[in-house]
Structure 1
Amino acid sequence: MSNCLHLAIPAGDLKIAKKFYCDVFGCKTGNSEEGHWVDIDFWGNELTLHQSDERLPKIRHDVDMGAVAVPHFGVHLPEKEFQALKQRIEEANLTYLDKPYRRFVGSKYEQETFFIEDPNGNVLEMKTMVNPQVLFEVD
């Protein structure tokens, strides 16, 4: 694995957080230290969940479609995988922070996205791009 992102976040209760990331998001675990932290394979990236009492503060920033929660993180998924994730979220009866919607419709940056909170209140934005190859193109 090369060029993988590593992100460590406060996760609250590790057992609850691990259940969310593995059972709902379909991620797998890696290295861990019982009661302290666990590595999650977050679509090829290393997400380290730390046992914690604190939560990250959130604010909203205005962007094209409204105010989004910051900080947040997530991944871009292929369409089929994105739709399967939405299905797992709905089957788990979880509530979206911002429901799935399409942005930049008709442009080369068209995408479907949603925001959801993990059990400790960390915000995730999950996306699928119509044309993923244009992500870093400069106009």
Structure 2
Amino acid sequence: MSKPTPFHLAVPVYDLVETRAFYRDVLGCEEGRSSDHWVDFNLFGHQFVIHLKPKEEQPTLHHNPVDGHDVPVPHFGVVLEMQAWEDLADDLKAKGVKFIIEPYIRFKGEVGEQATMFFKDPSGNALEFKAFGDMSQIFAK
């Protein structure tokens, strides 16, 4: 596999001001270009954009069972180095972020063992940040 390049992801948000503050102040993302309807962020080296969209009356919620937890679908996030993941988990706990799935080690002792945590931004977008003690396990079967 060649060296990974940054991805681009754009997600809908219903409150640009509150969600912008979350990514900037809680996750520590550097802000890039913006308008009255969208904001670019550097999300751990990736181009991430929030776009203003009116809130739905009845948003569709779905979960899949994974390792004894209900994983929200859809979700997105970044694979971090283990120390960066641990630092982020500690920082989010200190800032009072409410977790959907608390930070823990998934698939312990199995192929693909990984640290993971899930939480939502203020607009309800589910995020997962994970790390592998052995990065060669990312795509292991």
Same fold (TM over 0.5): yes
Please report the TM-score for the alignment, with normalisation by the length of structure 2: 0.87
Asked if 1 retains the 8 angstrom alpha-carbon contact of 2:113 and 2:137, the reply is: no
Gaps of 5+ in 2: none
Asked if 2 retains the 8 angstrom alpha-carbon contact of 1:28 and 1:40, the reply is: yes
What pairs with 1:35-114 in structure 2 (closer than 5 Å)? 35-54=36-55, 57-114=60-117
Q: In 1, distance between residues paired with 2:66 and 2:117?
A: 14
Q: In 1, distance between residues paired with 2:139 and 2:116?
A: 18
Asked if 1 retains the 8 angstrom alpha-carbon contact of 2:112 and 2:139, the reply is: no
Aligned length, in residue pairs: 136
Moved over 3 A (4+): none
Please report the TM-score for the alignment, with normalisation by the length of structure 1: 0.88
AA of the residue aligned to 1:96 = F
Asked if 2 retains the 8 angstrom alpha-carbon contact of 1:65 and 1:103, the reply is: no
For the aligned residue pairs, the C-alpha RMSD in angstroms reads 1.7
Q: In 2, distance between residues paired with 1:68 and 1:93?
A: 21
Q: In 1, distance between residues paired with 2:105 and 2:79?
A: 14
Q: Counterpart of 2:79 in 1: which secondary structure?
A: coil
Tell me the CA shift for residue 113 of structure 1.
0.6
